[in-house]
Amino acid sequence: MAGSAFTFAFTPAALRSLRLDEDRLALFAGDLALVRRHFPESAAVNLVIEARGDELRWTSRKLGLWSLTYEQELTTPLHITAGRGYADCLRFLLLRGAAVDFAPSGKTALHEACAAAHAGCARLLLSFGADPQAVSEDGFQPLHLCKSPGSLECARLLLQSGASVNVATEDEEDSPLHVAARHGLPEHVGLLLRYGAAVDAGNEEGQTPLHAACSQPHEPEDIERYFEVCQQLVEHGARVDVPDRDLQRPLHLACKVANPRVVELLLSHGASVNIMNYSGNTAMHNVLQVAAYKLLHQPERIVRALLNHGAVRVLRYCHAAPRVIEALINSYDRVRVPDEWAEAVPRETQQKHRGFYRSLLALGRRPRSLQHLARCALRARLEGRVPLAAPRLGLPPALLRFLLLDFEDVLY
């Protein structure tokens, strides 16, 4: 309920003991003095409050009749204080006899505290006997709601109190490890693994926690977090080539969200580079489909890594990502560059990458350099073993980088 506007409806009996405005001030502001005044020992600390939000939803009260009504939820003083981190008020209500596992809306106060990452409130509720494995109406246990970096201590408290590390949600069949991996929480993942989380547990879609981490879209600044998650999973034995129900492997998904760090990790641990998913796409297809929209994720690094590990070449023109084009062109000994390519590149793009596009379009009138042809011959000889074999050749660093398709922003 945090961050939403709600109105409240009380029963006539409740109105005799509480005044609406003062109660809201006491509970929602965490004013312990007001809470003490309005909840003396004889007061109903398990009062059920009906909260109505601003959002409308379709409901059916009679067969065939649907109407738009405001979303409603039942809450209690215990839920309100736990969900807002008011530990002093929460302790007072618990000492007054509030039912610790009361769940009028289908979730307990412990669910609220963990979802909002209030470890102090979670600790207090558990000390008063809250069930760490209470199942909400939606099929979630409190551990499934530890989805933010700040909820690490809540997760630790739940596990110490007996919460099952491998319990699955009722609908998606996600384990807590799926949840932590999907939200890019390396510390949570490490904690769950130390408590024995099953690293290859499958959910309803056949996805493992590694799938969950690889499939979650994220901003460029979150690339490292998701890499750390995947690194831990792989180091604990996660299989990198497990297919889900759509035959998607983690590599397919990591390419689709354009995380070069994760792609390089999976390839270094033996991920199959050319295997297809149910739609017939390889990992290369997936990254080329999103390259123009993921420029800040450096999709060119993914294309280069795939090519160095023997990916089947797919020549797809992507003018917004010239380094992607560079890697693809340099994987061929020769490529016919038609005049239509110049017409397909917007003028502003050509101006921004003038040197590269001048060199690319010039390939239509001259052959590639002998140095490039020698590189292609050696790469063909190594047949996808370039990252493993090239460092053993004793080449000078600059020549080694050239062999591995290092970016020069120009074509020779």
pLDDT in tens, 247-268: 999 999 999 999 999 999 999 9
What is the count of structural domains for the chain? 1
Q: Residue 13: which residues within 8 A CB-CB, separation 6 or more?
A: none
Cα–Cα distance, 281 to 4 (Å, whole number):
42
Rounded CA separation 255/248 (Å):
11
Residue 258 lies in a domain: no
Q: Around 384, how many Cα atoms within 13 Å sit in the side-chain half-sphere?
A: 13
Residue stretches of the chain with pLDDT short of 70:
1-26, 28-29, 31, 42-43, 51-72, 317
Of 322, 412, 404, the C-alpha closest to 372 is 412
**Within a domain: 102:** yes
Domain residues for the domain of 36 are: 1-61+68-164
What does the pLDDT read at residue 44? Answer: 73
Is the distance from CB of 379 to CB of 402 less than 8 angstroms?
no
Nearest-angstrom CA–CA distance, 341 and 357: 10
Residue 390 resides in a domain: no
State the maximum Cα–Cα separation within the chain, in Å, rounded to a whole number. Answer: 93
Cβ neighbours for 244, distance < 8 A, ≥ 6 positions apart? 202, 205, 206, 207, 211
Residue 248 forms part of a structural domain: no
Residue 212 Ramachandran class (φ > 0 left, ψ -120 to 50 alpha, else beta):
alpha
> Domain for residue 88, yes or no?
yes
Residue type, 383: E
Q: What is the pLDDT of residue 72?
A: 63
Which tens digit of pLDDT belongs to each residue from 89-103? 999 999 999 999 999
* Whole-number Å distance between alpha carbons of 198 and 196: 6
Number of CB atoms found within 10 A of residue 150's CB: 12
CATH number at 155 reads: 1.25.40.20
Nearest Cα residue to 137 out of 92, 73, 184:
73
DSSP 258-314: T-HHHHHHHHHTT--SS---TTS--HHHHHHHHGGG-GGG-HHHHHHHHHHTTPPP-
Element (H, E) at 57: strand 49-62
Token pair belonging to 303? 């294309």
pTM: 0.86
Q: Cα–chain-centroid distance for residue 255?
A: 14
| Closest to 245 (Cα-Cα) out of 335, 318, 325, 172 | 172
Q: Is residue 331 part of a domain?
A: no
Is residue 177 in some structural domain?
Answer: no
> Which tokens hold the place of 237?
């034995």
User: What values do phi and psi take at 239, rounded to 5?
Assistant: -80, 130
| Span between the terminal Cα atoms of the chain, in Å | 61
In a domain, 140, yes or no: yes
pLDDT of residue 5: 39
Q: What angle do CA 161, 162, 165 make, to 5 degrees?
A: 120
Q: Long-range contacts for 102-106 (Cβ within 8 Å, ≥24 apart)? A: 102/46, 102/76, 102/78, 103/134, 103/136, 103/137, 104/48, 104/74, 104/75, 104/76, 105/73, 105/74, 105/75, 105/79, 105/137, 106/136, 106/137, 106/138
Taking alpha carbons only, the member of 211, 134, 215 closest to residue 170 is 134
